[in-house]
Amino acid sequence: MSFMAKVALLFVVFVDLISQGLVFPIVNVLIMDPTTNFLAFDTPDSIRHVNYGLVIGLFFLAWFVGVIYLSKASDSIGRKFALQICLAGALIGYTITIISLYVGSLWLLILGRMITGFSAGNQAVAQAAMVDASENEIDRDRNMGYIILGVSFGLVGGPIIGAALSGQQFIGHYASFTLPFYATVVLVLIAMGLVAFFYHDVREDREPFRFHAKDLYSGLVRVKDFPLVMRILPVFICFMIANQTFFVFVVNYLTSAFGYGEVGGSFAMLVVGVALAISSGLLVKPAQSLFGRKRLVCTMLTIMALSVFTFALVPTAILSMFPLFLYFFCFGVTYPTILGFFSGSVGEADQGWVMGISTSILCLTAGVMALIGGGLMSIDIQLPFFIAAASVLFAFLLILTTWNQPALKKVIGVTTK
């Protein structure tokens, strides 16, 4: 795969993740701040928390549906065509989102976010494309790290774009909540151009694509045919429950606890992005070589549990940035390592499927926890973070008790140097 082809794939992931780093702080302010008048001024905070969870949760559930069908389609129609479909959907979704802000419609906002979510299956397609081009295990893990680097750049770029274009302290009266979305539309168009000109499919074998409603669950049911994936999956689910719960409600919590606006929320997303960029971009392979992959994951999970618990208890906003950074610093190393476990557990023909499963779990846990977490936040704003800490610890315990099978040790215990 050429350098520019990798750039195209990373830019696609970058644009995809801008959707979260940029959108979360803006949506949070629109819904939680009564002065925006997006919701009725007298809407109680408890209802605002539920509505925030609804917008974010349905985005991720639509992503769950999209990633199943689009990752399957990419095995049939090719990665390139699947990526182009995703980007076209993102363009439509952002356009509807812009319209929703002009007319002040919560339901149009939800529709726009759901369409954008459905088209966000490009992350799984990009992961599969990177695996297609990998020459060996070392190259595969490195390429997975590149994908997370694209994710982290998106999480860094999104807050910067969102804060700079929506905060009047930066560009004065030109600032608006819609301007960041216009900028994102331009970036989507650039991504479409990069994919069209520079990316070419590496995998040549194709299978006919057939739409089946049962695909929503058949991919997950198929896991039973892969014993090693079955062993890894419960740990990954707990890991993702923790991560997605923490990530979805970071900005919402900071607003409720410390009065953060869109600029403060964007700063928190920037901290997340920087932590991911440093760890996933520079430390995946050195950390694996130093600790060994299983020990590395166990160590990172322990630190993550302590970090999310500390985040919920610190008394000031600025202090909360330290455990926030540490948590996602550890996540940036752990996530590509576990993706490597998944990839090493199946053959070459099933790489698209297993990457789709990993991403669909990410989306499903985020969607479910966003919907549940909105209600939890209305009860106690710290409650989702305590659940996240417990989930990380449970993942750690599962590794200790279920990852002792010899065949699995071969997949997770290899230390590459």
Domains identified in the chain and CATH numbers: 3-199+225-412 (1.20.1250.20)
CA atoms within 13 A on the CB side of 373: 32
The distance in angstroms from the start CA to the end CA of the chain is: 23
**3-state DSSP percent of the chain in helix, strand and coil, to 5:** 85, 0, 15
Q: Which pLDDT tens digits describe the chain residue by residue (417 residues)?
A: 677 888 888 888 888 877 777 788 888 888 988 888 898 888 998 899 999 999 999 998 998 888 777 777 777 777 788 888 889 999 999 999 999 999 989 999 999 999 998 887 677 777 777 777 666 666 666 676 677 677 767 767 787 888 788 877 778 788 888 998 999 999 999 999 998 888 887 666 656 656 667 777 777 788 888 888 889 999 999 999 999 999 989 988 998 898 887 778 888 888 988 898 888 777 888 888 888 888 999 999 999 999 999 999 999 989 999 999 999 999 989 998 898 888 888 887 777 678 778 877 888 899 999 999 888 998 999 999 999 999 999 999 999 998 888 888 888 764 444
Amino acid at 139: D
Do 159 and 270 form a contact (C-beta atoms < 8 A)?
A: yes
Do 91 and 188 form a contact (C-beta atoms < 8 A)?
A: yes
Query: Can you tell me the distance from the alpha carbon of 368 to that of 293, in angstroms, rounded to the nearest whole number?
Result: 29
Do 339 and 127 form a contact (C-beta atoms < 8 A)?
A: yes
Q: Of 146, 137, 134, 132, which is closest to residue 80 (Cα–Cα)? A: 132
Number of C-beta neighbours around residue 375 at 10 A = 14
Q: Of 145, 192, 240, which is closest to residue 15 (Cα–Cα)? A: 192
CA distances from 141 to 104, 127, 131, 168, 240 (A): 44, 11, 9, 42, 19
Amino acid at 295: R
Helix (H, G, I), strand (E, B), or coil: what is residue 315?
Answer: coil
Residue the block writes with tokens 């397609």: 125
Angle at 410 between CA 408 and CA 416, to 5 degrees: 130
Query: Can you tell me the distance from the alpha carbon of 243 to that of 373, in angstroms, rounded to the nearest whole number?
Result: 13
